[in-house]
Structure 1
């Protein structure tokens, strides 16, 4: 999308088109375009259709706000989910932050959450179109007085006088994801330095960042939303006494620690616990094991087992009915005998995809079962069971 096409969407004619396209359905584009081009410039119709499609895609991240906001294709893909941005804004507000520099602000998802938390934001990005979209989004939600958008190179921005810096470096190029933190734009080392220039700082990084790259004095937080790990953030100046934090949304549920020794491995008990991905990334499986009086199934696999059912938001619990050596023909026979037509397949440490296994099983019937496959020192196991309500995360 060109900057001129985007600005045309902000005109009365563009706004009328967007309102008309709010609920269009996929597959209607050609017929709509043909009809609308009889009344409006072709370029404006194309821009409005593209924007309407982006808004529909963005509803999963931004909820009801999506229909009022503006997006770019990269913005929809890379913007922070609203629930996650609001959680971070709450943390900044709780620290007493009043003025914050949002570096690499993108289309303004974090800036919006911060402004709604009462924080004045300087939102900086080097791309002209991205800045125009961020400014339009601030205005659309009535937050223009709290959000100043500036087109600039973030490495040249003076953050003197600000309470905090938040940096979200670009982790993608035209070739795809960037895995080397020093290849981020700006690099991780620069972003760490920037985070330390103000009393508080936060820096978004890939969830798979090695723990060895977390700098001394930083608090590393992994955040999941509805069971899916969304991001990791390095926090500075928080005074945290624990270096690792796992936060589960909605809730929030926050677990700190990451220093307990790994629990011992042992036989499979009546219940299996599957820790949340943020807990695993934060190396806090041992903390969950302590909560549920659990042990590992295998020393290298993040499945816990226990003879007790303990409610915890940090792991999904299953009551097991069968624990057997993994054998596809035996599993197929069991499912047929029990008239199982819906199979939820989970696996760790076994080189088979759930899709391929499901094709081989050919389940049929009215019943449902969860099949959990796991490598162990005693050979691969298959465990059959059902999720148990007291052990489910709060969102289930």
Structure 2
């Protein structure tokens, strides 16, 4: 968005236009645009307003009803913390008795909003001018929140009276490609970890794929999934790490929240669960549990074992209620072969198949086409290794209570 369009959107006319737009509908967008231009509205303003309408519509999955009063950029929205997760971050700071938080790399201001909503003073720092402007708009209702256009590494934390830091480093290149190496974050992870010497109460948002070897031993590392999707990992230090050093997985779904954890050094190798033959039930751990290296802890909870030491499927002799994995009843299993699998499914008149896989190079969409299935029935199959062989496990989902 260029400066002129942004200025127009922030004008009384632009803000009024945003308020008047109907819920975004891709099929009606062109007609609506033509109608607004026919009324004499500036084409750039119309285009900018419709872009914001589209982004606000997408943002509802992260920000709920608050999205209708916010402004976004494409990249900023993609990287923004979900409101439910930001609220968890903010609660750590409030519970630690923090008074003044520096949100370094605040982006569009989602985390700063959550912290300010709990009455914390927030200094939101952002290097990109457009993003900082939008963050200012998004934080306009919070008198204790200030946005500063600055380099996060140049903020004098002591001079600003900061007693806690939250940092969300950029993890994308200018072209939009994801950055997985913590040394390539902006600012890089080592620079941010160095802030502990100034402010011990430090929280860092990092990519969920961060290797354990990149973690300091004495931190609490928590991976978070929302409705089954892993969205981030967070590193917590000082009074913010109420759990002590270790790793955990936090699963959020609706109003429910469940945590599984293991104390110790955050950079330690995960405990290995035992492996044994396929039992009557199969469990697929949530991605956050896998990322946090807590599959063995889950297996112990549900009295299960791995099918293969390198694959995160847990099998049990009996059914168990757990929020940390999706459960299936095992119906059948056999060695993988296209002809055998096709015959098996066709005999049972299966026309729609859900394909789960781990430890195999099979591409589900390609396999689905190769099977050429027809019929009224549905089936779920798991492609993985059993006893060292590529295998098919036929399952049916367990209903959660």
| Range of TM-score over shorter length | over 0.9
1:49 and 1:261 mapped to 2: Cα distance? Answer: 51
| CA apart distance, 1:334 | 2.1
Count of aligned positions = 388
Q: CA deviation at 1:264?
A: 1.4
| Partners of 1:216 and 1:89 in 2: CA distance | 24
Distance across 1 between alignment mates of 2:356 and 2:75: 32
1:30-52 C-alpha deviation (Å, 9 max, x unpaired):
32222212321222112112211
Matching residue within 262, 284, 297 for 1:287: 297
Match of 1:244 in 2: 247
2:342 matches 1:332? yes
Residue 254 of structure 1 corresponds to which residue in structure 2? 259
How far residue 117 of structure 1 moved from its aligned partner, in angstroms, is 2.5
Distance (whole Å) between structure 2 residues aligned to residue 26 and residue 341 of structure 1: 32
TM-score by length of 1: 0.93
User: CA distance change for structure 1 residues 195 and 45 in 2, over 3 Å: closer, same or farther?
Assistant: farther
Task: Give the drift of 1:19.
Answer: 2.4
Shift of 1:387: 1.1
Alpha-carbon offset, residue 92 of structure 1: 2.2
| Residue in 1 that maps onto 2:156 | 158
What's the CA shift for 1:344?
1.3
Hey, what's the Cα distance between the residues in 2 that align with 1:360 and 1:374? 18
CA contact (8 A) 1:258 1:284 kept: no
- How far does the alpha carbon of each residue in 1:174-215 deviate from its partner, in whole angstroms, 9 at most, with x for none? 241222211111111111112452241111111111101101
List alignment gaps of at least 5 residues for structure 2. Answer: 265-269
Match of residue 268 from structure 1: 278
Shift of 1:242: 4.2
The Cα offsets for residues 102-148 of structure 1, whole Å up to 9 and x where unpaired, read as: 00000101111112233221100011111110111112xx22x1211
Q: Is the 8 A contact 2:244 2:263 kept in 1?
A: no
2:287 corresponds to which of 257, 272, 277 = 277
Match of 2:81 in 1: 80
Aligned runs of 1:1-396 on 2, under 5 Å? 1-38=1-38, 39-139=40-140, 142-143=141-142, 145-160=143-158, 161-175=161-175, 176-237=177-238, 238-250=241-253, 251-257=256-262, 261-390=271-400
TM-score by length of 2: 0.92
Runs of 4+ in 1 over 6 A off after TM superposition: none
Confirm or deny: 8 A CA contact 1:62 1:82 kept in the other structure. Answer: yes
Tell whether the 8 Å contact from 1:246 to 1:282 is kept in structure 2 after alignment.
yes
Per the alignment, in what secondary structure is the counterpart of residue 380 of structure 1? strand
Cα distance, 1:239 vs structure 2 = 5.0
**Structure 1 gaps, min length 5:** none
Query: Take 1:93 and 1:386, find their aligned partners in 2: how far apart are those partners?
Result: 44
The verdict on how the C-alpha distance between 1:261 and 1:189 changes in structure 2, with shifts beyond 3 A counting, is: closer
Q: Secondary structure at the match of 2:26?
A: coil
